[in-house]
Structure 1
């Protein structure tokens, strides 16, 4: 069994695509995933599986469609990929509220894009990950999942530093 951190995009946001975490855990357990845990209500999952990443994503996507009736993008990362993402963050981490990681479903065909009027905000595309630094916070930034998806033609979901670190902590905690 290999452990993965799995991210769902766009659930429990503004009353749309509602999935109670207890129901999600039950579904994932019924789909034969092991040691399933969730963190907060925004689609953060830690689980173990014998499947490869693509099969994990497809199984979860199909399961959610059948059980809850809507499509949800799913991205899975190994623990070593998660650690590497954190270790390679290229910008200063002075304030955790302005640091984020945008996880992509695949490496885009291009690795440079222009986003106009972003002020002091910064981002760096690194394979299937984008490092994000929003100096004035995410609420005012023009850097977001939608712009990355449109320009890179990928699925993207972002987690702030606190959530990213917490997911790693949960994943590394052997007391499940």
Structure 2
């Protein structure tokens, strides 16, 4: 049995794509997963399963959400080992920062570095980003909502062909913890 986190992109934001967490837990349990729990209202679910890989599990959940709620949501599934590695390999001094200052954008695949080559990182200082394994780390000292770099990184030409969903550092840590302590 492996413990995973499902990361649903763009639900319960501004009254759009409403997915009650109780319904999401029921949906995941109905797919045969155990130990199902949700974290916050922003599309974070933890579950244990013994079938499939991350890609097939994400496709299964995407289809189930569409069938149940009537809209499509991008879903990424990551296991505990990956979530812990993202936490441990953070290129920024996470222990010294507030959770709102550090974010991880989980990606469906590691992008080629050339995708970001034309971004003048000096122009955005003190904000910075680094690419990791299927993850983009963003240091935004004033928070994501005020980040000009986050706005630039979110442009379609940079994320074309990728599923991307962002979590603040508090959530990054909590998902690693929850998947590590699940039965």
| Structure 1: stretches of 5+ with no match in the other structure | none
* Structure (1/2) with the larger helix percentage: 2
User: 1:44 and 2:50 equivalent?
Assistant: no
Structure 2 residue 110 is the aligned partner of structure 1 residue 107: yes
- Matched with 1:147 is 154
Tell whether 2:75 aligns with 1:74. Answer: yes
**Which has the larger displacement, 93-102 or 13-22?**
93-102
Shift of 1:104: 0.2
Does the 8 A contact of 1:112 with 1:125 survive in 2? no
Q: What do residues 111-155 of structure 1 show as CA deviations (whole Å, max 9, x unaligned)?
A: 551445533110011231111100221111023386265314211
Aligned length: 175
Tell me, yes or no, if the aligned pair for 1:99 and 1:132 is still in contact at 8 Å.
Answer: yes
Question: Match for residue 158 of structure 1?
Answer: 166
Gaps of 5+ in 2: none
Secondary structure of 1:143's counterpart equals: helix
| Cα contact 1:109–1:152 (8 A) shared by 2 | no
RMSD: 1.9
Match for residue 21 of structure 1?
Answer: 21
Taking structure 2 as the reference length, the TM-score comes to: 0.88
- Counterpart of 2:65? 64
CA deviations over 1:75-102 (Å, ceiling 9, x no partner): 1111111111111111123222201111
- TM-score, normalisation: structure 1: 0.91
